[in-house]
Amino acid sequence: MRIISRSALSDPPLLVASLLFVTFVVAVVGSLGAPLITSVSVQFHVSLSSAQWTLTIPLLTGAIATPLLGRLGAGPHRRGAVLATLLVIAGGSLLTALPLSFAWLIIGRGIQGVGLGLPALMMGVARDHVSPSRAPSTISLISVASTISVGIGYPVAGLITQLGGVRAAYSAGVIVSLAAFVVAVVTVPKPPQERSSTLDIKGAVLLAFGIFPILLVASETSLWARHLVLSLGLVVSALFLLGFWWKFEHDRKTPLVDVKLLRLRAVFGANLAMLVGGVGMYLLLTLLTRYSQTPETAGYGFGLSTFVAGLVLVPFSFTGFAAGKAIPYMQKRMHAFLLLVASAMVVLAAFALFVFGRTSLVVLLLAMGVLGFGVGAFSAAMPVAILAVTPKSETSSAMGFTLVVRSIGFSLGSAIGGLTLSAGTAPWHIFPSSGAYSTASLIGGLAMLLTAGASFAVGRDGNV
């Protein structure tokens, strides 16, 4: 009885709300770079490619920190890891807000990226301390919040930037990070006392070296155009290092990530669907936001400002949360992988709306809403597919690995979109042709068809 006394006394509604709030905060702070890239370029007198690092760096540090936090979340130090990470995020946010050089801004953004691994810990808390009847839906909502919160963060960041400048927008990160820390202090309980874990530092270093080249070439699309051989070399070296890391983790008694779980058809299939589906979903999000901001002088687009373009993402978040709330009810009638199939087809429908109706702003908003519902449903169903066959003690670690896979998929989607539009830009022209958007959409649509096919192949036996 002593083991469950603390979790039994926790107020589930308050705990659930706090877990979602912390997830929302770290997702928004981590995504602050995207809507501010142009403003950073102007204020710090750097190129757009240099300003792009305000988005690239947190993705890199997040991918490295996520499996480490996931392993800490599987042990007795989970609460301390949550609190320490939130303080680290607040410190990084302070660096971005102070009137320092561009280099310090990049360092601060890198520190902020550490928080991208916290949703995995929030899922572990939910599985341990929320009632069994509510835990699955809570975990699904945490997954949704970590994905579609950008739809709220983008317009807010754009508005603050217009009113007070870049520093004001980054200052908001300090406030919300400290608020999340206070909430976590009050509500996040300690994990079960009998649990223990060992932190695999060597595995973390190997994984970092394997992931870094992939995210680098995915984020810096100019490398492919200017240094093709170098880019291919980085990809090959990354694959070699990841293969070595896999063998290293497989042979360890206390691995950073239990890669043996990937032998399970459901776990492997879900992560494969997350990787390929992440490419398609983020590709369309990139296309929609970029198209909406393209000036009409290009022959298409709507010339929306950063703030107004951010508002275009509101339907994305609204329908995404709606899907997250609906999925627990749908799970009673459909297997998790069939939900992934349905979600992928919804995203495919959003691609079709964009391809055939993007000359209308109303249709563009509709496509954004449909995309949000598909992404929200996909994000909500994903943890169900994985955790159904994952030991309770491995919740944070397993979902941490999936978050890394998602980051890679999102980065690849962004890179493919950028490369396709760049290839469709005529010499001496600033903006790509409208046809380049159709080509990129075709690639994204194929990714979603592959995602649906892979999910169906895994889930058709009805055992998931």
**Confidence band for 334, pLDDT divided at 50, 70 and 90:** confident
Q: Which residues contact 388 (CB under 8 A, 6 or more apart)?
A: 266, 336, 464
Domain topology for 258-464: Growth Hormone; Chain: A; (1.20.1250)
**Poorest-pLDDT segment among 153-157, 169-173, 221-225, 321-325:** 221-225
pLDDT in tens, 23-51: 999 988 887 766 677 788 888 988 766 78
pLDDT of 300 reads: 93
Indicate the angle between helix axes 78-97 and 53-73, nearest 10 degrees. 160
pLDDT of 264 reads: 83
Reply yes or no on whether the pLDDT at 1 is more than 50. Answer: no
pLDDT of 195 reads: 54
Answer for the pair 250, 448: CB distance below 8 angstroms, yes or no. Answer: no
Average pLDDT of the chain? 86
**Poorest-pLDDT segment among 119-133, 203-217, 375-389:** 203-217
Reply yes or no on whether the pLDDT at 386 is more than 80. Answer: yes
Determine the CATH number of domain 7-194. Answer: 1.20.1250.20
Answer for the pair 384, 398: CB distance below 8 angstroms, yes or no. Answer: no
**Of 362, 323, 363, the residue nearest 340 (C-alpha):** 323
Neighbouring CB atoms inside 10 A of 3's CB total 10
**Of 320, 219, 363, 341, the residue nearest 276 (C-alpha):** 341
Q: Which residues contact 42 (CB under 8 A, 6 or more apart)?
A: none
